[in-house]
Chains A and B, each alone.
Chain A
Amino acid sequence: MKEQTSFLKGIKDGFPICIGYLSISFAFGIYACSCGLSVWEAVIMSLTNLTSAGQLASVPIIVAGGTLAELAVSQIVINMRYALMSVSLSQKLGKSVKMLDRFIIAFANTDEVFAVASSNEETVGKRYLYGLILTPPLGWTLGTLLGAAAGNILPAMLVSALGIAIYGMFIAIVMPKARTEKPTALCVAVAIILSCLFYYVPTLKAIPAGFTIIICAVVASGIFAFLAPLNIAEEDNDQ
């Protein structure tokens, strides 16, 4: 299989994520400061964590002076999906990606970076990946700074509208694939139905959201791995 090695293609693919992050982390910045973190604390948290849901969940725990164990468990539950993504990404890496690169790329393996890297037809090389992960952390950190420092002067309606941005990005990634590949479309449908069940059925509601995402994804992908396995003969030749 061919390897995507263009640094510029990486930049080009990563930049929309950077822009999307500006708006999402903007909302996080507002939230963190309204809960009592300082501007600097919100910014350094974004720079070092690069995870939307995990950071959102951490703020109330930190502000309330919760235990470190509580914080660690919340992060494990919410962020465990990244382990699944890293397993998946490990199969997508080209030969140019060395050990040290893996340590660096892992830091920026967010939902969006992972999804965009996965959407390449080829395996992804080192130069492409560095291009891809260059701008999203900047957008994430800068957006947090802007939200934390200036969020309060923006009208609430504008902030409310920005809330949907991240989901719009997700839909833009999934829909083109679901449109052309029927098994992917059905897999997506199963994942959505399960996710809605976990959200609306009273007894299932008690399960933390971080777990339900993993359960939905594993069950839906597992079903379609058996019902509609990929034709991988072509890839095998290149091992």
Chain B
Amino acid sequence: MKNFYIYLIVMAGVTYLIRMLPLVLIKKKIKNKYLLSFLYYIPYAVLSAMTFPGIFYSTGSVVSAVVGTIIALLLAYLKRSMVTVAALSCAGVFLTELIMKMI
């Protein structure tokens, strides 16, 4: 292993530049209707693509993950808060794995 801090500086620097450059360089308001609409959809498209199918493999077993996913979808549909959705979905996964262990 090389000096850890050289690695650290490189990865932190690269990650910061990626975040910082567009935010600092784009000062004008974009007027183009299509470009604005594109940027409006981006957050939801990014988060969805990151969530599926990754969520199914985020726990110890696909079964418990599917249970957690269904709980999260249901609670989010009922407009529960971010913490409630995340916490109860974790609880669902935990209970499912507990039950699976006992069977």
Binding site for B on A (CB under 8 A): 16-17, 19-20, 23, 36-37, 41, 44-45, 48-51, 54-55, 58, 61-63, 65, 68, 71-72, 75-76, 79-91, 99, 102-103, 105-107, 109, 111, 114-115, 118-119, 156-158, 160-179, 183-184, 187-188, 190-192, 194-196, 199-200, 212-213, 216-218, 220-222, 224-226, 228-230, 232, 235-236, 239
Contact = CB atoms under 8 A, between A and B. Distances in A.
Contacts, number: 296
B86 A169 contact: yes
Size bracket, chain B contacts: 35 or more
Interface of B is mostly: helix
A85 to B, nearest CB: 7
A111 B23 contact: no
Contacts of B16: 106-107
11 contacts: A20-B83, A49-B11, A86-B19, A106-B19, A107-B20, A163-B93, A168-B88, A170-B50, A172-B81, A179-B79, A188-B45
Given A71-B7, A175-B73, A157 B37 contact: no
B39 A173 contact: no
Contacts of B103: none
